[in-house]
């Protein structure tokens, strides 16, 4: 994969459809990964993403204390790894080693990116005002890169109960948009 | 459609995959509808959903003042209506009349549901602490119902620029989940 820079104001192209993502983090010499499905775009510029990271995850305190993470976008073909990452804890397991994933140096954060994922969105914690009450982290995406091919990779969308849906057809209705955003 | 009640703690089944939804609202005798793509599940019980409703929408103040709305889930076949609703304003147009949609009385909120949508999640404003800074509304889903067939309806996922993706295949990996949630 030869990933290319992606405009920060258009991170929504990848995350708004609601894909399952892998959050990678780094704290006190240890890397970790978690699977996440509860996130939403919040703003174009600055490029803000909100993530609900349950406090039960080993990643919760690591991300809060380091103030950084990377949102990695995996293709649907990684479904087994995605499922397994979500069903063990970084307190017991080095998930990069356990699942044969490769750390890739990030541009702007100390958290590593996951080389096998086709998209990476490096994040800094922007506002933690909702963390105590809702475990809801507001991140600013400070660097983004995506593998340019295929144009429409298959991602996963979680529905609970160990079941995912993939992406389907692409439908275009530009003519109905008065201001395209 | 014969919609059936859906468990409040499992609203995530429908909203976690990231579908485009239609928010219906009611304030001072007027109904309105807006198209929304920026939302995330926040909690199972109480059933919480966070929605970023841009302050430029006519719905913003109506939903904030009434403290209520309905998240309606449309099938992908409504793509033209979904696009058009997102590209006009309730200040100028009665969107139910303009787009031939039918109001359906809701169970617990005064905002009407949209009969043509296959799922309805009635919401009360639960926390507006993030509205001033981020236009981010935290709603509690207080009633939910879904048409039971088809089991896997096609929804839309917006990517910007007047382009949507639909849903694809259903993949099951229950065996890899230690605790199914």
DSSP of A124-160 = EEEE-TTHHHH-EEEEEEEEEEE--SSSS---EEEEE
Rg (CA), chain B: 16
pLDDT of residue B142: 98
Pairing of strands A113-114, B113-114: unpaired
pLDDT of residue B50: 98
Q: Model confidence over A38-78: pLDDT tens digits?
A: 999 999 999 999 999 999 999 999 999 999 999 999 999 99
Q: Examine the pLDDT at B180 and tell me if it is beyond 70.
A: no
Residue A91: strand, helix, or coil: coil
Q: Model confidence over B69-118: pLDDT tens digits?
A: 999 999 999 999 999 999 999 888 999 999 999 999 999 999 999 999 99
pLDDT of residue A178: 87
Question: Chain B interface, mutation test: which of A50, A151, A154, A178, most B Cβ atoms within 10 Å?
Answer: A50
Say if CB A170 and CB A13 are below 8 A apart.
Answer: no
Q: How far apart are CA B127 and CA B109, in angstroms?
A: 17
Q: Which residues of A touch B17 (CB under 8 A)?
A: 18, 157-159, 165
pLDDT of residue B181: 59
Q: Does B181 touch chain A (CB under 8 A)?
A: yes
Say if CB A62 and CB A49 are below 8 A apart.
Answer: no
Nearest 5°: the CA angle A123, A129, A132 is 105
pLDDT of residue B122: 98
Residue A70 tokens, joined: 């990377």
Residue whose C-alpha is closest to residue A29's, from A82, A115, A94: A94
Sign of CA pseudo-dihedral B150, A16, A149, A3: negative
pLDDT band at A180 (very low <50, low <70, confident <90, very high): low
Q: Within the 99-158 window of chain A, which residues sit less than 8 Å (CB to CB) from chain B?
A: 127, 129-130, 133-134, 136, 138, 152, 154, 156-158
Q: Model confidence over A100-142: pLDDT tens digits?
A: 999 999 999 999 999 999 999 999 999 999 999 999 999 999 9
A173 and B164: CB-CB below 8 Å? yes
pLDDT (average), residues A136-154: 97
A159 and B133: CB-CB below 8 Å? no
ipTM tops 0.90: yes
Q: Model confidence over B1-59: pLDDT tens digits?
A: 899 999 999 999 999 999 999 999 999 999 999 999 999 999 999 999 999 999 999 99
Q: Examine the pLDDT at B63 and tell me if it is beyond 70.
A: yes
- Cβ contacts of A10 within 8 Å, gap of 6 or more: A44, B160
B76 and A179: CB-CB below 8 Å? no
Q: Examine the pLDDT at A1 and tell me if it is beyond 90.
A: no
- Distance between B140 CA and the closest CA of chain A, angstroms: 13
Peptide bond preceding A150 in cis form (omega within 30 of 0):
yes
Q: How far apart are CA B20 and CA A18, in angstroms?
A: 10
Q: Which residues of B touch A170 (CB under 8 A)?
A: 163-166
Residue whose C-alpha is closest to residue B53's, from B128, B106, B143, B140: B128
Percent of chain A whose pLDDT exceeds 70: 99
Pairing of strands A113-114, A103-104: antiparallel
Say if CB A34 and CB A86 are below 8 A apart.
Answer: yes
Residue whose C-alpha is closest to residue A26's, from A100, A115, A96: A96
């Amino acid at each position: 994969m030869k990933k290319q820079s992606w405009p920060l104001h258009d991170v929504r192209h990848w995350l708004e459809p609601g894909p399952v993502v892998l959050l990678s983090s780094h704290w006190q010499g240890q890397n970790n990964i978690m699977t996440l499905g509860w996130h939403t775009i919040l703003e174009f510029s600055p490029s803000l993403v909100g993530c609900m990271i349950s406090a039960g995850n080993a990643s919760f305190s690591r991300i809060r204390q380091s103030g950084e993470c990377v949102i990695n976008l995996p293709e649907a073909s990684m479904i087994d790894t995605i499922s397994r990452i979500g069903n063990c804890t970084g307190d017991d397991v080095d998930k990069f080693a356990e699942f044969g994933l490769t750390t890739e140096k990030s541009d702007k954060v100390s958290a590593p990116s996951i080389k096998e994922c086709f998209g990476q969105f490096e994040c800094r914690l922007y506002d933690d005002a909702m963390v105590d009450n809702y475990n809801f982290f507001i991140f600013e995406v400070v660097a983004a890169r995506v593998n340019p091919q295929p144009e429409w990779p298959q991602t996963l969308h979680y529905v609970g109960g160990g079941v995912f849906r993939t992406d389907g057809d692409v439908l275009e209705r530009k003519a109905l948009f008065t201001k395209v955003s």
